[in-house]
Amino acid sequence: MIRAILFHVIPLLLPFVVYAVYLYFNARAGGDKKWGRTSLAISTVTGLVLMAASLIALGLVSGEPSEGTVYVPPRFEDGRIIDSQVLPAENKE
């Protein structure tokens, strides 16, 4: 669950939070900037790009190690279907 929050929600919402903090400090300094359609569109696109980058990074660094393992595909043996397996190289069937 934490991984889903880290890699989906936080990168998507981060530009909105950063812009809201900017607007807060801008208002305290006497500025007159407000949320607009352009700022919402830019924040949305930036959030989607960040989310896509985080998902690509997650796909590159996670998963089964391919070195030293052998994939055994599903097979039909003695009237039963044997599921696929990823076995260490020395235990190859």
**What's the CA gap between 83 and 91, in Å, rounded?**
16
pLDDT tens for each residue of 10-40 = 999 999 999 999 999 999 999 888 889 999 9
To the nearest whole percent, how much of the chain has pLDDT over 90? 51
The domain locations on the chain are: 1-62, 65-93
To the nearest whole percent, how much of the chain has pLDDT over 70? 91
Q: Mean per-residue pLDDT for 84-92?
A: 76
Q: Per-residue pLDDT for 54 more than 80?
A: yes
Confidence bin at 68 (pLDDT 50/70/90) = confident
